[in-house]
A and B are shown apart, each in its own frame.
Chain A
Amino acid sequence: MRYLFFLIFYAFLVQDLYSHEVKGRVVFKENTPVFGANVNIYNENRDTKILSTTTDPEGYFNINLEEGVYFFEATYVEKNRRFVGYSGKNPLLVSGSEYIGIRLLPLYKFKEQKVKNNKTKVIGQVLFEDKPLKDSIVYFYLSGRDIKGMPYVYSMPTNKKGFFEINDILPGKYFIVARKKISGSLFGPIEEGDFIGFFQHNPINLEKGKVYSIVIPVFKKVQDDVPIQVSAKYKITGYAIDEKGNPVSGVYAFAYKNKEMGHERPISISKKTKKDGYFELPIPESGKYYIGVRQFYGGTPLQGELYGLYEQTYDHHIYVDKNIENIKITVRKILR
């Protein structure tokens, strides 16, 4: 009996040690939260559902996942109209706590039709807010994991009516993704202002001698997905400025609990600063926090990146036991 108890205790302990918290939010295009949306977590190839949960009145959900690669989807029905949405991070390797944003889009059906020439063809249209999106590229991948790598084939840019076609594609199972990058590049991470959309029936099995007519709705990435403290006890407000004292836009403020910033995920990150350089940094509880500002979210800061640290203490900490207002952080380009 004692062994059984120990084993159960150990199993819970191990499960706890190896699970990671994934928070997220499901919204409509106007950023209105969706209450009661189903959030489905699949394996990376989206052929096995791992678990499901539903969103709270503010559209948030919170789950624990073991380390692994997952595909995040949300579904919702309103007035007999079905909506579906995917995380732009799909497929996502969860190896620490994560924040997932999902935007719901109307569900579009697809058609298939037999043809005599035994060839396989895909004709499609890319839509943004129900209107054709010109110059987007449609990528065909052989597996879910490949979505962040090289596609098997990709289309020419969509025309004025948002149409594309892929002729004589090899029959088989594909993941289809549409993207339009503002930089004009074909590959690379999705950034603010770029468009991305997943074919809503991924993966699709394309058969020999059939023509498929599909629609891919896309959404515009408005801001990097960042964890925002929803129940902060305090906040630090301030301004990012350059060496001449002018406000700096387009940077995030962050707070770490560890002096060696970057060895762990930040406790809190602000929204990107606008023209006035103003930021608000939610702080969950009183204590010592190490504060800075940087241009990009995630990963090690890069050469040329705008970066700055709170300078009033030599190790850049602020002790927070009340709201701290109007700090100033000077940003400079790294190694420039």
Chain B
Amino acid sequence: MKVLNIIFFIITTVNCLYAKNLPVKEIFTEEVWRGEILVEGVVAVRKEGKLTIEPGTVILFKSIDIDDDGIGDSELYVEGTIIAKGSKDAPIVFTSESNDKIPSSWKYIMVNHAKYAYFEHVLFEGAFSGLQVHFTKAIVKNSIFRNNVDGFRFSTANIYVCNNKMTKNRHGIRYEERDSKGIIEFNSIQENEIGIFPVTKCGDKVNFRYNNIEKNGYNIKVGDEQKENLSFKNNYFGMIFESEIRKKIYDKHFDKNLPIVNIKPYSKKPFLESDVKCLEEF
């Protein structure tokens, strides 16, 4: 009987949890965020909506986990337009409401089938994915991704990603290239468990160049389902000798079923701030 009671309790509890609905706020017109914004549940920028975020704005995502999957449920979901342009002195911050800022405290900023996305001088921290971009043209510059499971993640997108810092994430950049096009340059991808994680369906339509990819558990780790060889030419991997660089690139050299990551020519010295030249137009 005691067992039955426990089972009944579990079933009732689970049902209650799933019976709850996340609060959803939808943006259908133009909206500007400034100061401190609390996101509890979902904020959805709909197709016709445009969200502009002013420099210095702090967006706090409430740590709620209704489905109990260990990932915070609060998110910003964009199918319209988002312009988040901070400044060097007044960056925009997307972070957890809680003090510890641990990865997965909140879900993500998901830009999916959106009209346009622009992020500059933005800090993304404590999320499951700091920023995900799919089926959208997006520019991401001068920003920091830290303490997330995935810092920056994309698939089938037109992207320009320049002079960002991805650090202390499980994956600095995680991607399935599929039908993407773009350039990822002058980024510092350091101290992540895995610097760059090409999961599957990756090729050479997104050009990774002039990045400092170093001091990660693996600087590049190829996913089990990736079939094509990959090109990561003209990047700096923290070492001078290829044999040393190879120790931090998990590809065919570690597992014969994986493709090869081509790295030559590679830079023998790091790219400096003075080297950075982000494109004005993309």
Contacts and interface: CB of A to CB of B under 8 A. Distances in A.
Interface of A: 300-303, 307, 309, 311, 314-315, 334-335
Contacts of B30: none
Contact of A301 (B46, B156, B158, B201): B156
Interface residues of B, number: 20
Contact of A314 (B42, B136, B155, B179): B42
B44 interface: yes
Contacts of A309: 113
Contacts of A334: 113, 135, 156
B250 interface: no
24 contacts: A300-B155, A300-B156, A300-B176, A300-B179, A301-B135, A302-B156, A303-B158, A303-B181, A307-B113, A311-B46, A314-B26, A314-B42, A314-B44, A315-B44, A315-B77, A334-B113, A334-B135, A334-B156, A335-B135, A335-B136, A335-B137, A335-B156, A335-B157, A335-B158
A287 to B, nearest CB: 13
Contact of A303 (B42, B46, B179): B179
Give the 6 A-B residue pairs with the shortest CB-CB distance, closest first: A314-B44, A302-B179, A300-B178, A303-B179, A334-B135, A314-B26
A240 B113 CA distance: 17
A311 B178 CA distance: 25
B105 to A, nearest CB: 20
Given A301-B135, A314-B44, A334-B135, 11 more contacts: A300-B155, A300-B178, A311-B46, A311-B47, A314-B24, A314-B42, A314-B46, A314-B77, A315-B77, A334-B113, A335-B137
B49 to A, nearest CB: 10
Contacts of B157: 335
Interface string B147-178: 00000000111100000000000000000101
B275 to A, nearest CB: 30
B20 to A, nearest CB: 15
A334 B137 CA distance: 10
Contacts of B136: 335
A48 B135 CA distance: 44
A309 B44 CA distance: 15
Contacts of B135: 301, 307, 334-335
A283 B38 CA distance: 38
